[in-house]
């Protein structure tokens, strides 16, 4: 939660200025809960331009406009406003707790803009000015996480669990964060849950899954509606192959936020890794309904469609992803397989091959998928794709796409045998495994 600045408008303005236009606008600027974000921003702008405000009131107007921009995710607009607040605060000078709130907010904005070193400097200053407050420790801990410094992150999250938290009720009402003399008895739910979530991710960086799982569990105990904690624990269960527990946690997170495309994507991935592909497809479809530009969901839905034999649908979906992402050898290859399997005659297969040549022209590197593209285009044989010493992921990719090459060439026996290798020997989380298992089930059902 952003810290809010304490401002009693009439008291700061003085009786003689109580009816000044700028102060009237400032009162409305501070009441976003009633005015709504856009109208409150407009009143902040009017207050700033009025010329009626002293430095402290002007700093508050800039602060609140910057805070509202940040709530909207408009961080590039928020940052100059908070820079101006920092400058005006220094002219006062303002009390330390007020200045700490300003540096804290600028730190969160810098962090959102991925200016991590600048964010750390602002959180450091906020803590120096007012070390009792938990919020900047959380912010700094998350910034250390972004820099993958797990030990420093853990130290800050530990400190956040010990420090004071703001009064959520008065903060939401716009009253502020100057609570230095208040007792430490406010609602710690969000703070403490977030600290345990942060520690959980830090311990994952340290590859300590047991401690990470315990921290995610504690975060959920404190706040059962923490989507970050539920999704964090679900992802860890998924990594550990416990797909039932992962699906349970993803489902709980979706109950909290049922319109989250990423939530459906994540649960769909867990369903598919559990080999329940129909449920996975339903979740990917819902992710795309809620977020039509969720390219990862579209890609995985296309993989399932390819295994189902819905080649034209798979080709269209892979193509849509290609239009909106950078060229990648795996994507080019998946798209070609869908086009080639959809082809009904030699001419259509030749067109698919020509398209592969065009789509792969800008590819660089010698990844396994790039080598498979070269094989598909007749520039090499398959001996390099099946040489000993391949990694498991390379072996799975090679065998799956060699199987597809065999099917396009009409060799169903070899195609099915290679798909069997993938279905039995490759990780449950691999897209090649999904497509191979779905196609083998389809082929068995057709009696071929």
**pLDDT for 339 beyond 90:** yes
**pLDDT for 390 beyond 90:** no
Domains 188-275 and 293-446 share a fold: yes
- CA 41/CA 44 separation, integer angstroms: 5
**Taking the domains of the chain in order of start, what are their residue ranges?**
1-179, 188-275, 293-446
pLDDT of residue 447: 53
pLDDT of residue 168: 53
What superfamily would CATH give domain 1-179? Tetratricopeptide repeat domain (1.25.40.10)
Q: Which of 181-190, 299-308, 347-356 has the lowest mean pLDDT?
A: 181-190
pLDDT of residue 5: 58
Instruction: Assign 17 a pLDDT band (cuts: 50, 70, 90).
Output: very low
Instruction: Assign 446 a pLDDT band (cuts: 50, 70, 90).
Output: confident
Q: What is the mean pLDDT of residues 391-403?
A: 96
Do residues 146 and 116 make contact, with C-beta atoms less than 8 angstroms apart? yes
Instruction: Assign 32 a pLDDT band (cuts: 50, 70, 90).
Output: confident
pLDDT of residue 6: 45
pLDDT of residue 205: 97
Does pTM surpass 0.85? Answer: yes
| CATH 1.25.40.10 correct for 293-446 | yes
Q: Quickly name the fold that domain 188-275 has.
A: 1.25.40
């Amino acid at each position: 939660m952003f810290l809010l600045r304490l401002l009693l408008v009439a008291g700061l303005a003085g009786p003689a200025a109580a009816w000044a236009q700028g102060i009237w606008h400032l009162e409305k600027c501070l009441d976003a809960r009633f005015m709504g974000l856009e109208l409150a921003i407009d009143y902040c702008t009017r207050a700033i331009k009025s010329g009626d405000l002293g430095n402290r009131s002007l700093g508050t107007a800039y602060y609140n406009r910057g805070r509202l921009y940040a709530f909207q995710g408009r961080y590039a607009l928020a940052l100059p406003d908070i820079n101006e607040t920092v400058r005006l605060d220094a002219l006062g000078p303002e009390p330390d707790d007020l200045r700490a709130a300003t540096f804290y907010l600028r730190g969160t904005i810098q962090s959102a803009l991925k200016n991590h070193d600048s964010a750390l400097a602002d959180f450091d200053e906020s803590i120096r000015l007012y070390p009792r407050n938990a919020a900047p420790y959380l912010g700094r801990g998350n910034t250390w996480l972004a820099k993958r410094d797990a030990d420093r992150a853990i130290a800050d999250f530990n400190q956040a669990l010990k420090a004071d938290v703001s009064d959520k009720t008065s903060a939401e009402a716009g009253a502020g964060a100057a609570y230095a003399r208040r007792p430490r008895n406010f609602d710690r739910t969000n703070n403490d849950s977030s600290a345990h979530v942060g520690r959980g991710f830090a311990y994952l960086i340290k590859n300590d899954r047991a401690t990470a799982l315990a921290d995610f569990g504690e975060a959920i105990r404190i706040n059962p509606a923490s989507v970050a904690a539920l999704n964090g624990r679900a992802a860890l269960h998924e990594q550990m192959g416990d797909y039932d527990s992962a699906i349970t946690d993803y489902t709980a997170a979706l109950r909290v936020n049922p319109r989250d495309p990423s939530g459906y994507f994540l649960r769909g991935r867990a369903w598919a890794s559990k080999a329940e592909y129909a449920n996975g497809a339903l979740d990917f479809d819902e992710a795309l309904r809620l977020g039509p530009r969720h390219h990862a969901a579209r890609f995985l839905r296309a993989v399932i469609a390819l295994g189902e034999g819905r080649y034209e649908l798979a080709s269209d979906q892979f193509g849509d992803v290609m239009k909106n992402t950078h060229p990648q050898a795996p994507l080019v290859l998946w798209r070609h397989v869908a086009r080639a399997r959809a082809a009904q005659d030699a001419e259509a297969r030749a067109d698919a091959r020509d398209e592969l040549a065009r789509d792969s022209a800008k590819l660089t590197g010698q990844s396994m998928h790039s080598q498979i593209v070269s094989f598909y285009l007749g520039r090499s044989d398959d001996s390099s794709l099946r040489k000993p010493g391949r990694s498991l992921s390379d072996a799975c990719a090679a065998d799956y796409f060699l199987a597809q090459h065999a099917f396009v060439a009409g060799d169903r026996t070899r195609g099915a045998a290679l798909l069997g290798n993938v279905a039995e020997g490759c990780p449950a989380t691999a897209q090649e495994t999904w497509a191979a298992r779905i196609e083998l089930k389809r082929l068995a059902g057709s009696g071929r």
